[in-house]
Amino acid sequence: MESWLGYALVAMLTGGVAMVFAKMGMNNNANEHLALVIRTGVLFMMVLGHALYAGGLKSARLIDNKTLTWFILAGACTAVYWILYFKAIKTADVSVVATIDRAGILVTVGLSYFLLNEPLTPRLLLGMGVILCGTLILIWK
């Protein structure tokens, strides 16, 4: 197995578990804002610790303004995503919210085609179609 696939599979598993844990925590009097602050604090400390351990901060001076702008925009999008995701799972089934959330892959694939010139293969288009159908099934009542 290629290393990227192993990373992606473990990311998928831990991402799925994280959302269930977050929903379980909000069932015990914690609101979605506090839940997100705690989660983000733990995330920040773990990512910082990993970057320090791996020497990833040594090249910080080499980041140009354009690159920094892309990272800032990605961080802002992630913040909006998490705020709205936690609001959604506070009041709805996390299984439904998580499934609808995964339709964001359609946006990712579309933007990667137009902005990054990544190919749209028949297999990728079929997978996107299945994700779109599943999302529409969950949205329509």
pLDDT of the residue at 118: 96
Using a cut of 0.85, tell me whether the model's pTM lies above it.
no
Task: Give the CA distances from residue 127 to residues 38, 42, 105, 111, 122, in Å, rounded to whole numbers and listed in that order.
Answer: 35, 33, 10, 16, 9
Q: How far is CA 130 from the centre of its chain?
A: 20
Domain ranges of the chain: 3-101
DSSP code per residue over 46-107 = HHHHHHHHHTTTTTGGG--HHHHHHHHHHHHHHHHHHHHHHHHHHHS-HHHHHHHHTTHHHH
pLDDT of the residue at 122: 96
* CA 25/CA 56 separation, integer angstroms: 32
Q: How far is CA 56 from the centre of its chain?
A: 21
Task: Give the CA distances from residue 20 to residues 12, 60, 114, in Å, rounded to whole numbers and listed in that order.
Answer: 13, 34, 34
pLDDT of the residue at 139: 86
Which regions in the chain score pLDDT beneath 50? none
